[in-house]
Amino acid sequence: MMALYWRRIKLKSIFLLFGACFVGYLLFMRNSSDSMSSTRRRDAPGPQDPETDEEFLTKPVYEKPPLDVNGLGELGRAVKLDLQGEDKKKEQESIDKHQINIYVSDKISLHRRLSERRNPLCKEVKYDYRSLPTTSVVIAFYNEAWSTLLRTVHSVLETSPDILLKEIILVDDYSDRAHLKAPLEAYISGWRKVRLIRANKREGLVRARLLGASISTGDVLTFLDCHCECHTGWLEPLLQRIKEEPSAVVCPVIDVIDWNTFQYLGNAGEPQIGGFDWRLVFTWHVVPPYEQQRRRSPIDVIRSPTMAGGLFAVKKDYFLYLGTYDTGMEVWGGENLEFSFRIWQCGGTLEVHPCSHVGHIFPKKAPYSRSKALSNSVRAAEVWMDDYKNLYYHRNPHARLVEENEAFGDVTARLQLRQKLGCKSFKWFLDTIYPDLSVPEDRPGMFGMLKNRGMTNYCFDYNPPNDILVSGERIILYSCHGMGQNQVPPARRLTQ
């Protein structure tokens, strides 16, 4: 009897175990079916799928904290402090150290909002977010102040749709200031999509940016300076244009952030475009009538002969095709014009997108040496300007010395790149892309410095009042220095 009893117990246990397994199997299949159904909905979203909502697709990596309307500098307002004594001394020390008023910067939220600066038509544009390319944002820095660097990073994270921003790559170009060591690593350690790499020697802007580009994983490379603030909606227009035209290099509208008060000086009017003079100095210009006529809408892209260089987006594959940066260039200076010439002469387009706005702090003056800028410009002239390079050398005797002494490095590889890509002549560039630039005749005795006959040691000297002036110069008398540059009148006949 006992044996029969235990046999029945055993059978019941087997049936119960089988039943439990069967119920578990049904639940598993149901959950799997739901999961597969959910996956299919993501792949082919229906009208009720929340992932098709604009709110989801435009959601940034991080949300900004609530707006403090009374916060210093909020909405791009100027900060003017009435300082005395020790505080005034600290403010001046921060300016002397960084050529930016970091004392004021440190008082402003790292998450501050900016007032609307875009053309109203920009907000009406709809984007197919899932079809846009992703981007890696590369920010190189050297001894940058804490608040300006981190405000840049926060602004990218808080204005860039999560679905489009692959990563931010911070490249430390061998900084030696303590706040950029362990404190920076600790501050960003918990952030999504932010990577920090460090150069093992001073590389300069060009090679530091290439370090970041070399490890990037996004479809598009977006380069920003380390003291910027991105406006809402800045990224989508750049990526949309590159999706439409993969050989386009696209710049945002660069709005000025005042180095002293941090006032955001952007406007919704017509952006300016880049040019240069025969000293190979970058200049800003109004959009010429022929370019205005070519555009069908005020928010169409604007073709620009050159770019300022600090802020632009380019398809990574196209950047590699064009030969990236000229790695023979040191620190910074001249690389923007060299890359601009190369883009146009080798079949690409250089554009400004009116719907993309990024604020940029133009320091009071360069915070560190630009001693290599001259040799960089000579490299650009030797590779891209053909015989027109002599117009540059006539206006810069020091550049001529660099060229004669071959102190600009080997450009053989860059000349081979030009030949390999089948790039056009500099004359084509002037005739087709920059017809507004007057080409001087430079006949003997008809160019050079203008001396005052009554004060023989003084020459005409012209300098723009500031770095962001669109046009016009102030003519003064100044001791003749023999270096050409601003003592050689602009490209027009001296008989005029």
Residue 96 CA to residue 379 CA, distance in Å, equals: 32
CA angle at 413 for the pair 408 and 418, rounded to the nearest 5°: 105
How much of the chain exceeds pLDDT 90, in percent?
A: 69
Mean pLDDT, residues 363-381: 81
- Domain endpoint, select from 322, 339, 361: 361
Indicate whether 77 pLDDT > 90: yes
Q: Confirm whether 27 is domain-assigned.
A: no
- Domain endpoint, select from 361, 376, 399: 361
Report the mean per-residue pLDDT for the chain.
85
Q: Confirm whether 5 is domain-assigned.
A: no
Q: Confirm whether 45 is domain-assigned.
A: no
Q: pLDDT by residue (tens digit) across 106-125?
A: 999 999 999 999 999 999 99
**What's the Cα-to-Cα distance from 131 to each of 239, 240, 246, 247, rounded to whole Å?**
10, 9, 14, 18
Residue 172 CA to residue 109 CA, distance in Å, equals: 23
Domain count, the chain: 2
**pLDDT for 33:** 39
Indicate whether 40 pLDDT > 60: no
Is the domain of 289 the same as that of 195?
yes
Is the domain of 117 the same as that of 224?
yes
Tokens representing 271?
A: 């952006």
Q: Of 479, 74, 394, 391, whose CA–CA distance to 264 is shortest?
A: 74
DSSP-derived secondary structure letter, 127: -
**What is the extent of the structural domain holding 479?**
445-496
Q: Of 129, 336, 315, whose CA–CA distance to 222 is shortest?
A: 315
Helix (H) or strand (E) holding 6: helix 2-43
- Domain endpoint, select from 307, 338, 361: 361
DSSP-derived secondary structure letter, 286: P
Least confident of 106-120, 311-325, 387-401: 387-401
First to last CA, the chain: 129
Neighbour tally for 367: CB within 10 Å: 15
**pLDDT for 16:** 45
Q: pLDDT by residue (tens digit) across 423-473?
A: 999 999 999 999 999 998 876 555 555 556 666 677 766 665 544 444 455
Mean pLDDT, residues 296-314: 96
Tokens representing 431?
A: 């005739």
Is the domain of 353 the same as that of 451?
no
**pLDDT for 6:** 41
Is the domain of 454 the same as that of 353?
no
Q: What is the DSSP pairing of strand 194-198 with strand 165-172?
A: parallel
Q: pLDDT by residue (tens digit) across 120-175?
A: 999 999 999 999 999 999 999 999 999 999 999 999 999 999 999 999 999 999 99
Is the domain of 450 the same as that of 357?
no
199 strand-pairing partners: none
Is the domain of 341 the same as that of 469?
no
**Virtual torsion, Cα 240, 241, 243, 246, nearest 10 deg:** -160
Residue 191 and residue 161 in contact, taking contact as beta carbons nearer than 8 Å: no
Indicate whether 185 pLDDT > 60: yes
Is the domain of 314 the same as that of 453?
no
Instruction: Report the CATH number at residue 264.
Output: 3.90.550.10
Q: Confirm whether 177 is domain-assigned.
A: yes
